[in-house]
A and B are shown apart, each in its own frame.
Chain A
Amino acid sequence: MQSQIIDALTKIVGQEYILTSPEDLYSYSYDATPGFQNLPEAVVRPANTEEVSKILALANTNKIPVYTRGSGTNLSAGTCPMQGGIVMVMTRLDKIIELDSANLVAVCEPGVIVGDLNTAAAKFGLICPPDPGTVKTATLGGTVSENAGGLRGLKYGVTKHYVMGMEVVLASGEVMNCGGKNVKDVSGYDMTKLFTGSEGTLGVITKLILKLVPAPEAKKSMMAVFKNLDDAGNSVSGIIAANIIPATLEIMDNATIKVAEEYSKVGLPLDAEAVLLIEVDGNPIVVEQEAEKVLNVLKANNAFSVQIAKTAAEVDKLWACRRAALPALNKLRTTTYCEDATVPRSMVPKFLRAVQDIAKRNNVQIGTFGHAGDGNMHPTIVCDIRDKVEMARVETAMDEMFKAAVDLGGTLSGEHGIGLGKLQWMEYQHGPVTINAMKAIKRALDPNLILNPGKLVGEC
């Protein structure tokens, strides 16, 4: 990078907030996605919208790629600076500007950690429901840009259902506002939705207006073990058919059960084909009634055993085995690909079978767990990225797996985003017309293609 660009960036953010040493650049060459790494040429940490605007204006004039980054916890290489350029770290914009309990709205800067917003909202008895696995580390900006989901998607939806408005700096450096605190708002194109989930390819979010909801008063957790996968699938359909929308409805397949049991010793039978974890929440009386109904559905569908947590300690124990799923798989090998292919709820058993078959055929180890209630699965491949022969098999398995999801009417990504990881299957899912429409939007808003270039819709 030319030294006058470095000087100009230094003038904008100050000496303390620009990093250029090889070691510092290396520290921002990766995110939580295995297999993607490239050195940026400068890392800047702006303090406010004005600085962000100046950085983008400079980058746009000089056609320098800009990679916006929060905590760098995404799983789709969304923040990897694959073409060098500038990594812009947003974590200094970390203020909760306003908690408006009358309008059930929070106004935040994008660097606020998701968990911190919930801690602040809890004082008013409110929550911001999207809870990706990284609540304690991920920023709101990253969560909105990836349109992250979480465990409560079935009942509460995902991030996009909670974004009401935002301030965005466009590629040109101009500052744009869209949406607001209005529950109903049909004035113009829904720009808020467009930028939500745009993975930093259309603009840089500098302020967010988020919807809050009352925290549920009571919760009840239960776990059911199944010897037959179809019984588990039928239980999921049965619960929905009984007009119950649990907050959480999680499934683990046999491969995952085996490693999770090995890791956490909670007493799961190793021959179980599936485990369901269910949590209903809301008004205490309704919660009791719903738990009872769920129990009946589970029994009617041949659950081998059912456990209802009676104390906080029992709740912890039930969830310990679900929490153990990823770490347990993680520990098996050095490299872990946690994918998030998603299918319509009714297709979950079919997809799980397809993944098991793909794993066997390609001699690849895959454990699948995920959010059965919303069809969002996490087929998790464990391998060693340094073993080229094995990685060739992994690539074939991934290819077959994503195509299987799409063929079942599903989607490549439920909540992790496309980034680079799943880019090669975008056309398979969407077809050329949709892809071209997406690229046209990208080119209209970022004509010099400086914002997270090459990601989500690929080269334009």
Chain B
Amino acid sequence: MSNEITAKDVNEQDKALLKDIDNALENCSKCGGCMAVCPMYKELGVEGAVARGKLSLMQGVLNGTFPISANFDKAMGLCVSCKACSANCPCDVPADELIIRGRQAVVKARGLSPIKKNVFKLLQNRHMFDFALRMAGLFGPLSFKKLPRPMAAVARFPMPGMDAKRVTAPFSATPLRSQYPETIKVDKPKMRVAFFTGCTINYAYTDVGQSVINVLKANNVEVVMPSMQHCCGTPVFTSGDVDTGKTFAKHNIETFERYDVDYIIAACGSCTEAFKIEYPHMFKDDPAMKARAEKLSKKTYEISEFLVDVLKFRTDNLGPINATVTMHDPCHMVRGIKVTRQPREVLKAIPGLKFVEMQAPDRCCGSGGSFSLAHYDISRKINDRKVADIAGTKADLVATSCGTCRMHITDGLVQNNLNAEVMHVIQLLDKSYQAGKK
């Protein structure tokens, strides 16, 4: 439509949307180093897939070669936000952030895609979102068939936007936060922490949430799960809808500020990163909000990081788990909050457990949050490489620290006829405490 007017006006308007990152884009020397680490480029092999190409497309808009077009939108969408480009950039160009800025410009110039628009609208209303996902849990068994492995299901009939063979996590009939009182008390607590559950753990992988609570109880920590907490906003923010992302951030900051806790913990790399890094960053132009975000940021920890670095978790009463375990480092753990040592320390503390490192444990599993919904085929190809690396270890169990990674790797193992099971690190520790009681 507006594309047809061609008009310099459109270009001028689109240019204005990216003007503030002109210098940041110019810092990319086009050396192409990102090609070595980009999972998207590995599969697609075209410049538009890799950071260098995407940054250059933004420059194309800035110098008026083309407007923020459908093709531009598509190119910006082809990114799993794994941050490997930024982590390996010799010029320290924050390409992942700039790509999100590109998406933000798309949202402003062209609006969100219709599917995302509806999902985000639902997300914006906490009560409606909660209701919809509870319904999914209640009526899920009608539409999803459970597989003979824990926490895995496939759709019984075609679902819009979902590949027919794809294995996902079943929605829980009762969300985690409804399974417990808001505060879970222990005798003479050592400390009090607030648990930011995130959506995946609250609605789907409730088993992970239960393990977090069990482990903290076993270490004499009082847990509170603020009932008003909402989605961290990362899926919305990375899609370029920054304003909605900020609304979520503000809501969560206000919610958690009301609780007098020593620490805030989360059991997902992306959720932790939101509290720890994204929120203060989001409000960089609003000193008052920034200060509030930073206060929470300072006491936020990912669960394994908290257990190892802060709590010094109990190891004297751990029981054996006789299994070979390998570890997948989620992108937002390794390159977001930079936590890779602590989950391994947790695993290595478990008696009987044989830990085997896989080839490239920090390579993206291809999920990319909602990316895998829009581009399942590419997502599957990236994941097949991960699954091959897992197969190379002959592990019985894959430990990871992210719900969407767990779901996507489980799918990959099923599609490739492998029997290994995927679990959160904390679930293994929980099992070990249970075994210790016997």
* CA–CA, A26 and B53, complex, Å: 9
Whole-angstrom distance between the Cβ of A324 and the nearest chain B Cβ: 9
Whole-angstrom distance between the Cβ of B81 and the nearest chain A Cβ: 20
Chain A residues, Cβ within 8 Å of B46? 19, 24, 27, 45
For A23, A24, A71, A115, the residue with the greatest tally of chain B CB atoms inside 10 Å of its CB is A23
Docked complex: A255-299 residues within 8 A CB-CB of B: none
Whole-angstrom distance between the Cβ of B293 and the nearest chain A Cβ: 28
Query: Digit string of A25-36 for contact with B (CB within 8 Å is 1, else 0)?
Result: 011101111100
Chain B residues, Cβ within 8 Å of A71? 32, 35
A-B contact count (CB 8 A): 81
Docked complex: A373-420 residues within 8 A CB-CB of B: 384, 386
Whole-angstrom distance between the Cβ of B49 and the nearest chain A Cβ: 9
The answer to whether A331 has its CB under 8 Å from any CB of chain B is yes
Chain B residues, Cβ within 8 Å of A205? none
Chain A residues, Cβ within 8 Å of B113? none
The answer to whether A161 has its CB under 8 Å from any CB of chain B is no
Docked-complex contact A335 and B26, CB < 8 angstroms:
yes
The contact of B69 among A23, A28, A73, by CB within 8 Å, is A23
Docked-complex contact A136 and B57, CB < 8 angstroms:
no
Docked-complex contact B30 and A31, CB < 8 angstroms:
yes
Whole-angstrom distance between the Cβ of A32 and the nearest chain B Cβ: 5
The contact of A336 among B29, B65, B92, by CB within 8 Å, is B29
Docked complex: A320-359 residues within 8 A CB-CB of B: 326-327, 330-331, 334-336
Docked complex: B42-96 residues within 8 A CB-CB of A: 45-48, 53, 56-57, 60, 65-66, 69, 71-72, 75, 90-92
Docked-complex contact B47 and A73, CB < 8 angstroms:
no
Chain A residues, Cβ within 8 Å of B91? 327, 330-331
Chain A residues, Cβ within 8 Å of B32? 32, 71-73, 134, 137
Docked complex: A67-106 residues within 8 A CB-CB of B: 71-73, 89, 91-92
Query: Digit string of A1-33 for contact with B (CB within 8 Å is 1, else 0)?
Result: 000000000000000000101111011101111
Whole-angstrom distance between the Cβ of A119 and the nearest chain B Cβ: 11
Docked-complex contact B33 and A24, CB < 8 angstroms:
no
Chain B residues, Cβ within 8 Å of A19? 46
The answer to whether B2 has its CB under 8 Å from any CB of chain A is no
Docked-complex contact B75 and A137, CB < 8 angstroms:
no
Whole-angstrom distance between the Cβ of A42 and the nearest chain B Cβ: 14
CB within 8 Å for A27 and B45 given contacts A32-B30, A136-B36, A326-B90: no
Whole-angstrom distance between the Cβ of A263 and the nearest chain B Cβ: 10
The answer to whether B179 has its CB under 8 Å from any CB of chain A is no
Docked-complex contact A27 and B57, CB < 8 angstroms:
yes
Docked-complex contact A327 and B30, CB < 8 angstroms:
no
Residue in chain A with minimal CB distance to B27: A334
Chain B residues, Cβ within 8 Å of A30? 30, 56
Query: Digit string of B327-355 for contact with A (CB within 8 Å is 1, else 0)?
Result: 00000000000000000000000000000
Docked-complex contact B90 and A27, CB < 8 angstroms:
no
Docked-complex contact A23 and B29, CB < 8 angstroms:
no
The contact of A386 among B26, B66, B71, B75, by CB within 8 Å, is B26
Docked-complex contact A334 and B26, CB < 8 angstroms:
yes
Residue in chain B with minimal CB distance to A73: B32
* CA–CA, A39 and B31, complex, Å: 19
Whole-angstrom distance between the Cβ of B244 and the nearest chain A Cβ: 27
Whole-angstrom distance between the Cβ of A134 and the nearest chain B Cβ: 7
CB within 8 Å for A27 and B56 given contacts A22-B66, A91-B45, A331-B92: yes
Chain B residues, Cβ within 8 Å of A26? 56-57, 60, 65-66
* CA–CA, A72 and B34, complex, Å: 12
Chain B residues, Cβ within 8 Å of A134? 31-33
Chain B residues, Cβ within 8 Å of A22? 65-66, 69, 71
Query: Digit string of A112-137 for contact with B (CB within 8 Å is 1, else 0)?
Result: 00010000000000000000001011
Whole-angstrom distance between the Cβ of B51 and the nearest chain A Cβ: 12
Whole-angstrom distance between the Cβ of A171 and the nearest chain B Cβ: 26
Docked-complex contact A137 and B33, CB < 8 angstroms:
yes
Chain B residues, Cβ within 8 Å of A137? 32-33, 35-36
Whole-angstrom distance between the Cβ of A103 and the nearest chain B Cβ: 30
Whole-angstrom distance between the Cβ of A382 and the nearest chain B Cβ: 10
The answer to whether B178 has its CB under 8 Å from any CB of chain A is no
Chain B residues, Cβ within 8 Å of A336? 29
* CA–CA, A27 and B46, complex, Å: 8
The answer to whether B23 has its CB under 8 Å from any CB of chain A is yes
Docked-complex contact B26 and A24, CB < 8 angstroms:
no
* CA–CA, A326 and B90, complex, Å: 8
* CA–CA, A334 and B30, complex, Å: 11
Residue in chain B with minimal CB distance to A336: B29
* CA–CA, A21 and B53, complex, Å: 14
* CA–CA, A39 and B32, complex, Å: 19
Chain B residues, Cβ within 8 Å of A39? 65
* CA–CA, A89 and B71, complex, Å: 20
Whole-angstrom distance between the Cβ of B297 and the nearest chain A Cβ: 26
Chain B residues, Cβ within 8 Å of A327? 90-92
Query: Digit string of B15-28 for contact with A (CB within 8 Å is 1, else 0)?
Result: 00000000100110
Whole-angstrom distance between the Cβ of B199 and the nearest chain A Cβ: 34
Chain B residues, Cβ within 8 Å of A334? 23, 26-27
The contact of B47 among A28, A92, A386, by CB within 8 Å, is A28
Residue in chain B with minimal CB distance to A136: B36
Docked-complex contact A23 and B72, CB < 8 angstroms:
yes
Whole-angstrom distance between the Cβ of A454 and the nearest chain B Cβ: 21
Docked-complex contact A32 and B53, CB < 8 angstroms:
no
Chain A residues, Cβ within 8 Å of B65? 22, 26, 39
Docked-complex contact A27 and B48, CB < 8 angstroms:
yes
Chain B residues, Cβ within 8 Å of A45? 45-46
**22 interchain pairs (CB within 8 A)?**
A22-B65, A23-B71, A23-B72, A23-B75, A24-B71, A27-B48, A32-B30, A32-B31, A34-B30, A71-B35, A72-B32, A73-B35, A115-B36, A134-B32, A136-B33, A136-B36, A137-B32, A330-B90, A330-B91, A331-B27, A331-B91, A335-B29
7 smallest CB-CB distances across A and B, nearest first, come from A27-B47, A136-B36, A327-B90, A23-B71, A334-B26, A73-B32, A26-B60
**Extra pairs beyond A21-B71, A32-B29, A45-B45 (20, CB < 8 Å):** A19-B46, A22-B66, A24-B47, A24-B48, A24-B71, A27-B53, A28-B47, A33-B30, A34-B29, A39-B65, A73-B32, A73-B35, A92-B45, A134-B31, A134-B33, A136-B33, A137-B32, A137-B36, A334-B23, A334-B26
